[in-house]
Structure 1
Amino acid sequence: MDPELAAAVAALPTPTPPEGTPTLEESRAEFNRVIALPFINWQKTQVPEGSTYTVRDRIVPVEGGGIPVRCIVPTVEDENATFPVLFHMHGGGFIFGDIDLDDYYLRRLAVDLRITVVNVEYRLTPEYTFPTPLNDCIAALKWVVENTSDLKADLTKGFILIGDSAGGNLAAVLAHEARDDPFFSGRQPTGQFLREPWLAHPDSIPERLTPHYRSMEENAKHDLPLAPTRAGLDGLMLVYKPPLTDPRFCPLLYPSQEGLPPAYFQAMGLDTLRDDGVVYERELRAAGVKTKLDLYPGVHHGFHAQFPTIPIATKLWDDARKGVEWLLRGGE
Structure 2
Amino acid sequence: MDSSSWKAYGKIDPELEAMLPAMPPSVSFADYGSADNLRKSIGEQFAQMIAAGILQLPDLTGITKTDIEIPVRDGSSIRALHYRPETGEAGPLFVYFHGGGWTFGFPEAWESGIKILASELGFHAVCVAYRKAPEAVFPTAVNDAWDATEWLANNASDLGADLSRGFIVGGASAGGNLAAVVTHEASDKKLSPAITGQFLSVPMVVHPDAVPEEYKPHYTSEEEFKEGMVLDRRGIQFLLSNYKMDSKSPYGSPLLWPSGHKSQPPTYFQVCGMDPFRDDSLIYEYLLREECGVPTRVDVYGGLPHGGTDFLPMLTQSKKALRDAKAGFEWLLSQRSG
Q: TM-score, normalised by structure 1?
A: 0.89
CA change 1:217–1:29 in 2 (3 A) is: same
Q: State the identity as a percent.
A: 38
Question: What is the aligned partner in structure 2 of residue 47 from structure 1?
Answer: 59
Q: CA deviation at 1:35?
A: 4.3
- Match of residue 213, structure 2, among 207, 211, 218: 207
- The answer to whether the aligner puts 1:298 opposite 2:298 as a matched pair is no
Question: What is the aligned partner in structure 1 of residue 223 from structure 2?
Answer: 217
Instruction: Give me the whole-angstrom Cα distance separating, in 1, the residues matched to 2:150 and 2:93.
Output: 13
The root-mean-square deviation of aligned C-alpha atoms, in Å, is 2.3
Instruction: Give me the whole-angstrom Cα distance separating, in 2, the residues matched to 1:301 and 1:3.
Output: 16
Instruction: Give me the whole-angstrom Cα distance separating, in 2, the residues matched to 1:88 and 1:319.
Output: 17
Indicate if the aligned counterparts of 2:32 and 2:38 stay in contact, CA closer than 8 A: no
Local SS of the residue matching 2:325:
helix
CA change 1:75–1:238 in 2 (3 A) is: same
Q: TM-score, normalised by structure 2?
A: 0.88
Question: What is the aligned partner in structure 1 of residue 334 from structure 2?
Answer: 329
Instruction: Give me the whole-angstrom Cα distance separating, in 2, the residues matched to 1:312 and 1:130.
Output: 34
Instruction: Give me the whole-angstrom Cα distance separating, in 1, the residues matched to 2:179 and 2:292.
Output: 18
CA change 1:316–1:107 in 2 (3 A) is: closer
CA change 1:14–1:196 in 2 (3 A) is: closer
CA change 1:314–1:275 in 2 (3 A) is: same
Local SS of the residue matching 1:147:
helix
Instruction: Give me the whole-angstrom Cα distance separating, in 2, the residues matched to 1:179 and 1:239.
Output: 29
Indicate if the aligned counterparts of 2:50 and 2:57 stay in contact, CA closer than 8 A: no
Tell me which amino acid in the other structure corresponds to 2:249. D
Indicate if the aligned counterparts of 2:28 and 2:232 stay in contact, CA closer than 8 A: no
- Match of residue 82, structure 2, among 71, 94, 106: 71
Local SS of the residue matching 1:26:
helix
Q: CA deviation at 1:206?
A: 1.2
- Aligned positions of 1:135-174 closer than 5 A: 135-174=143-182
- The answer to whether the aligner puts 1:275 opposite 2:299 as a matched pair is no
CA change 1:107–1:17 in 2 (3 A) is: closer
How far does the alpha carbon of each residue in 1:233-274 deviate from its partner, in whole angstroms, 9 at most, with x for none? 333332212222211111111131111100001111111110
Question: What is the aligned partner in structure 1 of residue 7 from structure 2?
Answer: none
CA change 1:217–1:36 in 2 (3 A) is: farther
Question: What is the aligned partner in structure 2 of residue 243 from structure 1?
Answer: 246
Indicate if the aligned counterparts of 1:213 and 1:276 stay in contact, CA closer than 8 A: yes
Q: CA deviation at 1:15?
A: 7.0
Local SS of the residue matching 2:236:
helix
Tell me which amino acid in the other structure corresponds to 1:72. Y
How far does the alpha carbon of each residue in 1:211-247 deviate from its partner, in whole angstroms, 9 at most, with x for none? 1101112233xx5431231x33333332212222211
Instruction: Give me the whole-angstrom Cα distance separating, in 2, the residues matched to 1:244 and 1:148.
Output: 33
Question: What is the aligned partner in structure 1 of residue 142 from structure 2?
Answer: 134
User: Unmatched 5+ residue regions in structure 2?
Assistant: 1-11
Structure number with the bigger relative contact order (C-alpha 8 A, sep ≥ 6) is: 2
User: Unmatched 5+ residue regions in structure 1?
Assistant: none
Indicate if the aligned counterparts of 2:210 and 2:248 stay in contact, CA closer than 8 A: yes
